[in-house]
A = this chain, B = another copy of it.
Amino acid sequence: MSPTTGAEPGPDARAGRPPGRARRGLPDGSGLSSSEGRRAPSVTGRVFSILEAFDGDHRALTLTEIARGAGLPVSTAHRLVGELTGWGALERGADGAYRVGLRLWEVGSLAPRSVGLRERAMPILEDLYEAVRQNVQLAVRDGHEIVYVERLAHPEAVRVFSRVGGRWPLHPTAVGQVLLAHAPPVVQESVLTERLVAYTPKTVTDPAALRRVLAAVRRDGVAVCDGMIDLMALSVAAPVRGEDDTVVAALSVVVPSPSEGGGIEPRTLVPAVRAAARGISRALGAPTATRSDAVARPGGPRAGS
């Protein structure tokens, strides 16, 4: 294979592919390996780079693919993958390809910010899902990105690009805007100085405009994003607060965009989303969610019916 293989970050990326972390290129013997490609020379670092070779579009990899993706010699990859497989972090299928193993998932399921949160939120998510029969999503912030923790999708609902465990930037998603609006100021400023990628013509990319959006989100307690990632979809999100009353997650509903002929008036979703988010906050022990003011009044926590 000629040396051109992974030079470009996203030659394979289809339409709606999130800005996944830059895939590590080959060692790239062109001398000038520079400082950027800071590769941790530790064993642990190498193990991580192996795990990072797997992502939503690459769930099954051969040894050689792993080695290439992780930037490791095959013999090294072979040894480490062998250990990973022995423990159960990876599994080898009958086809010889490696996949992420059950044991690793099992440990991951102890993460409080994902499964812990999910456990308490699930009943309310279900109620909301039953009420709207569309896409319902729950996400948390990790650095400058959101990570989807749970997603309930009706088969006939508008198609969305999110995936449980998937990452997206903060600025073009309703959950992201909610989480950013309530993030520490350092994070906000940092994001506002980054280049804000446009996914559609409707994406907010101007820092000043985004700043206004965030202020509105804080004021209204909801974020509404129409066609910022996909012109067909509109999403409404509200913040979920934890014990110390900080925003720990965001909840959203995604419906067909009215500008594309969606039949749902987004404004009717706002009370339901806000109520469900408050319901989860209460389940988490948020102090303000136990008071009874603040929410207008349409519909109780059970969002209809």
Contacts and interface: CB of A to CB of B under 8 A. Distances in A.
A109 interface: yes
A40 B55 CA distance: 28
B110 A165 contact: yes
A112 B98 CA distance: 11
A18 interface: no
A48 B87 contact: yes
A146 to B, nearest CB: 11
Contact of A108 (B42, B80, B105): B105
A145 to B, nearest CB: 10
A210 to B, nearest CB: 24
Interface of A: 1, 5-6, 9, 13-14, 40, 42-45, 47-48, 51-52, 54-56, 59-60, 80, 83-84, 86-89, 91-92, 94, 96, 99-116, 119, 122-123, 126, 129-130, 140, 142, 147, 152, 155, 164-165, 167
18 contacts: A1-B96, A5-B92, A14-B88, A40-B83, A43-B44, A45-B87, A47-B47, A48-B87, A59-B110, A100-B110, A102-B114, A104-B108, A105-B115, A106-B165, A108-B109, A122-B152, A123-B155, A126-B129
